[in-house]
Amino acid sequence: MAFENLTQRLQGVFKNFRGKKKITENDVLEITKEIRVALLEADVALPVVKKFIRNIRARAIGVEVSEALQPAQQVIKIVDEELTAILGGGEVALGKSPKIPTIIMMAGLQGAGKTTFAGKLAKRLKDTENARPLMIAADVYRPAAIEQLKTVGKQVDVPVYDEGTDVNPVEIVRHGLALASEKRHDYVLIDTAGRLEIDEKLMDELIQIKAVAEPTEILLVVDAMTGQVAADVAKKFNETLDISGVIITKLDGDTRGGAALSIREITGKPIKFVGTGEKLTDLEVFYPDRMSSRILG
Ligand code: GDP
């Protein structure tokens, strides 16, 4: 499907604004109609779009056109500021426990990029803090998942604790944490199981792992390419697990990032990192203003 993006749409409207001195209520209606369609097409959830439009309306009506700025630029500035605000304003650092280890639990649907992110984060912690992380393989439903985490662990030179697929993942986590204390690892990254869709058994297991691990961070990993689904997933995981942050992967793909807007607004939880490729170096801190620029094009 070839949709016009938000920038193209706005440019279309703004063409009619050339030479205007003041933005009227009618102008704003026209602008917000285009923003609404563009955001919906960019996979932003409807309630989020509605709230966003209300803010824009309130701020844009009656804007005086200054000498320096064309009305189009002024509206773009307002849209940009509001998008940035909804996306969280500024970046949010990873939490750290006052005593080691800091325990970080990863959750998300299968294929979202959890295991890859675990490797990327382990590498980042090593590179930036000289940390000594331990990763725990708690996805016992897919033997390939354990092997994949071990492969990633080898690539970043971080040990992986696993007990194969025959042990209850809650026990694996318990044992892995005991080992981490014994060996004085400063970070523990727990890779949990994902399913193709949310199911109660998976959620129960994650609740149990959370109870045992008492993690400083519960990071939900979502695939940006899945759009509205990512927002629904974030809502459900947050309701069940009270997550502490979100990782959005596959932003190197052809997506406008509408999911980021919905997720932040629906969960109220900060997006902390974004995945920008398959390589273990393809991890970036999430900056709301950059994301806003991306959505605006
Ligand atoms: P998991 O099932 O949640 O553990 O997901 P994986 O970590 O196995 O990732 C699923 C697929 O997505 C793999 O092929 C990864 O290489 C790929 N992947 C993960 N993160 C990114 C990313 O940021 N960009 C791209 N392009 N691919 C990614």
Distances (CA, A) of 193 to 93, 174, 228, 268, 288: 25, 16, 22, 24, 29
| Residue 11, ligand 1, Cβ within 6 A | no
Q: Is the pLDDT of residue 190 over 80?
A: yes
- Spatial distance between the Cα atoms of 114 and 121, rounded to a whole number of angstroms: 10
pTM beyond 0.90: yes
Query: pLDDT at position 31, please?
Result: 82
**β-bridge partners, 106:** 191, 219
Helix (H, G, I), strand (E, B) or coil at 99: coil
The more confident residue out of 57 and 118 is 118
Whole-number percent of the chain with pLDDT over 70? 91
- Tokens 């604790």 locate to 161
Distances (CA, A) of 133 to 119, 120, 165, 183: 10, 12, 22, 10
Residue whose Cα lies nearest atom 28 of ligand 1: it is: 278
Question: Ligand 1 centre and the CA of 116: distance in Å?
Answer: 6
Binding residues for GTP: 108-115, 191-195, 249-252
Query: pLDDT at position 111, please?
Result: 93
Q: Is the pLDDT of residue 34 over 90?
A: no
> What number of other Cβ atoms are within 10 A of residue 285's Cβ?
14
ipTM confidence: 0.99
- Spatial distance between the Cα atoms of 240 and 263, rounded to a whole number of angstroms: 15
| Residue 275, ligand 1, Cβ within 6 A | yes
| Residue 146, ligand 1, Cβ within 6 A | no
Confidence of residue 1 (pLDDT cuts 50, 70, 90): very low
Please tell me what DSSP assigns to residue 253: S
For ligand 1, mutation pick of 278, 279, 284, 286 (most atoms within 8 Å of CB)? 278
38-52, 145-159, 279-293: least confidently modelled range: 38-52
**CA 71 from centre of chain:** 33
Q: Smallest Cα–Cα separation from 238: which of 284, 209, 207? A: 207
